């Protein structure tokens, strides 16, 4: 379903999802209309699910990013999942195997905000918090 040309288009879109079909076509040797058709097929088949923006959270006033490993209390998974909308601070969340049930990335303003966030989590389980010092891939 996805060929090497599609993978090249995907690689270009990963670098810049706002790149024009003309730009991508020049870089991989296709006409803009061919790129457009292929991108449309990738979107229709949901290989491409959507497009995101990357924000500088610090410039938005959110200077603290943490990973939280979360061990839910017995029988709390469904309740926690039903209440995820009350935690807008959660940027990513995954159900995982191992000692902890949940892995999440949380974006917060400061340590007080972190403390308040953890206090809200304690109803559902036991969090283990890890501060993010830097993002090595972006550096």
Tokens 């340590």 belong to residue: 111
Q: What's the mean per-residue pLDDT of the chain?
A: 95
Position 139 confidence tier, pLDDT thresholds 50, 70, 90: low
Contact in structure between 50 and 17 (CB atoms under 8 Å):
no
22-47 mean pLDDT: 97
Kindly state the average pLDDT of the residues 46-63.
Answer: 93
Count of residues in the chain: 139
The SS3 call for residue 94 is strand
Handedness of CA 49, 54, 58, 60 (dihedral sign): negative
> What's the confidence (pLDDT) of residue 6?
96
Give the residue-averaged pLDDT of 79-105: 96
In angstroms, how far is the first alpha carbon of the chain from the final one?
A: 35
Predicted pLDDT of residue 135: 85
pLDDT cut 90: percent of the chain above it: 92
Structure tokens at 85: 């909308």
**Residue of 108, 98, 99 whose CA lies nearest to 132:** 108
pLDDT on residue 54: 86
């Amino acid at each position: 379903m996805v060929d090497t040309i599609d993978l090249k288009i995907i690689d270009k879109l990963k670098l810049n999802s706002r790149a024009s079909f003309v730009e991508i076509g020049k870089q991989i040797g296709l006409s803009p209309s061919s790129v457009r058709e292929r991108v449309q097929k990738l979107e229709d088949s949901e290989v491409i699910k959507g497009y995101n923006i990357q924000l500088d959270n610090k410039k938005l006033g959110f200077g603290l990013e943490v990973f939280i490993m979360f061990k839910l209390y017995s029988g709390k998974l469904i309740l926690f999942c039903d209440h995820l909308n009350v935690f807008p601070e959660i940027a990513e969340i995954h159900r995982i195997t191992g000692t902890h049930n949940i892995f999440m990335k949380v974006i917060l303003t400061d340590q007080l905000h972190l403390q308040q966030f953890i206090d809200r989590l304690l109803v559902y389980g036991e969090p283990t918090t890890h501060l993010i010092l830097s993002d090595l891939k972006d550096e």
